Amino acid sequence: MSQKPVRSHWIIGTLRSPLGILAAIGLVLLFGLALFAPMIWGEAAAVSDPLNLSKGPSAEHIFGTDAAGRDVFARTLVATRLSVMMAVGAVAIGVSLGVILGSIPALMPRWAGRILVALLNFALAFPALLLAIFLLIVLGQGSFSAVLAVGVAIAPAYARLTHTLTSSVSGREFIDAARILGVSKAGLLFRHILPNIREPLIVNASLSLGGGLIAFAGLSFLGLGIQPPEFDWGRMLNEGLSKIFVNPATALAPGIAVVLAGLVFTVTGEAIARGTGVHRGLGRRMPKLAAAHTRAAVTEPAADSNQDDVVLRVRDLAVTVPAGSTWRKAVDGISFEVRRGEAVGIVGESGSGKSLSCLAVAQLTQYPVDSDAALVEFDGVPIVRDGARPAELSPRRLAKLLGTRMAMVFQDPMSSLNPALKVGAQIAEIGWLHEGLSKAAAHDKAVARLGEVRIPDPERRARQLPHEFSGGMRQRAMIAMGLMGTPALIIADEPTTALDVTVQRDVLALLDEVRSETGAALLLISHDMAVITSVCTRILVMYEGHIVEDIETSELVAGNASHPYTRALLAAVPTMTSPRGEPLATIDEQLRSTFAAGPLEAVR
Ligand SMILES: Nc1ncnc2c1ncn2[C@@H]1O[C@H](COP(=O)(O)OP(=O)(O)OP(=O)(O)O)[C@@H](O)[C@H]1O
């Protein structure tokens, strides 16, 4: 297994590029001026020289003097503090307010969230500067009102950005995995979602600082912002313009300052974007690597778990998905059972409904996908009866049951682990969330589990981020998460699809080992017959949302499949003795149309 290079902190990454160095120099100069200019040139900027009113550039005054005889260059330098501080203040208000408003919909009931998002979109329809002018008129003039007005005016844009980023992260598998662990909505937001969207927000905030400077310059220029005796670059532009024909430098100097400061912020934003990979979307933080994944969450058996032989009983499960302007049943009323400790495979071609069936069992389908079942009974507890959660099962108990007794192993290698959290902390989460362990004890247990899945140097590895693990190691880490307790059922959705053959074998062996040691049942989804037959003792064959055959592996291998689709699927798998010159068998269209005509379920 190869080891991934360690990714440095984004600030170091940013500073390593020429653009980053340029941005750093610009920022030091700008903030240096903001800090020290009033002390050095404060007096020169304030003192009037009645003998030198509105004079052009000279050796003594390189940008000349203003209408009151004050040195324009000194005033431009001194105005840096107020101009920059107001831009920083407004962006800080805008980003904070925006992040709060943009995150709240994720915590609200769906209908309330949609109303809030609609209101935000409505606010976005107003140009920010117009909104700022309107607010300034309401709040009254002055630097504080100006900062507040511009901050509030840019907040809707940040709220929209936060909402969009939050929604994109919410669909990732590590969020599903955290949900099945029973993490609350607020926990999901603060611990799992916000850390993953901070980089695009930081980049946008840096870029907004330049926009903020221009907005203040615009407001002061209109006479709405800063009032004398205070002055910023916008105020100076306003005053300079009336004397532009006498001494153009009075307007030129603050104009140049706005442009240069704006450039510094823009270059900073661009440098951070390159340093963090934000300009490539969220891809860098969540790279797709070639491997598969597991996510597991388990502890001691639930107090009310029923020890009958069946761990999962599913009756008439249907999953509806949107199809253009209408809906279709991607899973059409399937029924099956998994016994305790049994390894059951679900096989079928892509799109046959394998993943959706398992997501529905784990209660992980989300709008617009809708699931319905006459019964889903897990670990002796009915979790769905007649299409709904039974009244006696509280949402909290359901979360705990799924979080502690069901383990999920997802297909995508990187997306099942939260890229912003250390691996050890993620594995430990189940310990303190459901087992009542202290954080330190949960961490120790997590390290021990990492060792058990043969991750070398587990103490050090526990402190690393997922991108520092290879694909196979990430998968082992996820299985380690499953070993935090004793799962009753491990659902593994294509866990080896993207792995190379040796790692595939390792991971399948590890899953099988976990199954036999913990007594957990395994529900393994794959479109690979060879994988399924090597691990499972019974196989469910899915086609077009139906289970068309439920067969013991030994029967299948002996050639006793009864359904034509199963036989066709088997014939399509190449063997060592398949003639190499001939094309592989395919499932012919006539057979397909026969299957599509009606339900073909063959429940045991
Ligand atoms: N969110 C969704 N919106 C619309 N259609 C969906 C959605 N999720 C799944 N589907 C559709 O439902 C069908 C079944 O999907 P599912 O993911 O269960 O297939 P699968 O058998 O697991 O396939 P694969 O092996 O490719 O993962 C597919 O046709 C898929 O396009």
Give the chain's domains with CATH numbers.
14-51+65-280 (1.10.3720.10), 310-596 (3.40.50.300)
d(CA 115, CA 29): 45
d(CA 32, CA 35): 5
Ligand 1 centre distance from Cα of residue 332 (Å): 13
The strand pair at 521-526 and 489-493 is best described as parallel
- Report the nearest-CA residue for atom 3 of ligand 1: 321
Ligand 1 centre distance from Cα of residue 356 (Å): 6
d(CA 146, CA 125): 21
Ligand 1 centre distance from Cα of residue 545 (Å): 10
What is the tens place of the pLDDT at every residue in 512-540? 887 887 888 999 998 788 888 888 999 99
Average pLDDT over residues 453-458: 86
| ipTM score for this prediction | 0.95
ω into 583 cis (within 30 of 0): no
Q: Which pLDDT band, with edges at 50, 70 and 90, does 246 fall under?
A: confident
- Report the nearest-CA residue for atom 10 of ligand 1: 321
- Residue 338 has a pLDDT of 95
- Residue 107 has a pLDDT of 74
Whole-model pTM: value is: 0.57
Q: End-to-end alpha-carbon separation of the chain, Å?
A: 42
Q: Which residue has the higher pLDDT, 412 or 134?
A: 134
**Residue percentage of the chain with pLDDT more than 90:** 19
- Are 352 and 565 in contact by the 8 Å Cβ rule? The answer is no
| Pocket lining for ligand 1, CB < 6 angstroms | 321-322, 330, 348, 350-356, 369, 527
Which residue, 192, 83, 183, 203, is CA-closest to 143? 83
172: phi then psi, degrees, rounded to nearest 5: -75, 155
How many Cβ atoms sit within 10 Å of the Cβ of residue 321?
17
Given a cut of 50, is residue 164 above it in pLDDT?
yes
Given a cut of 90, is residue 334 above it in pLDDT?
yes
Given a cut of 50, is residue 301 above it in pLDDT?
no
Average pLDDT over residues 55-77: 82
Q: Exposed, middle or buried by CB within 10 Å (0-12, 13-18, 19+), for 294? A: buried
462: phi then psi, degrees, rounded to nearest 5: -60, -25
Residue 109 bridge partners (DSSP): none
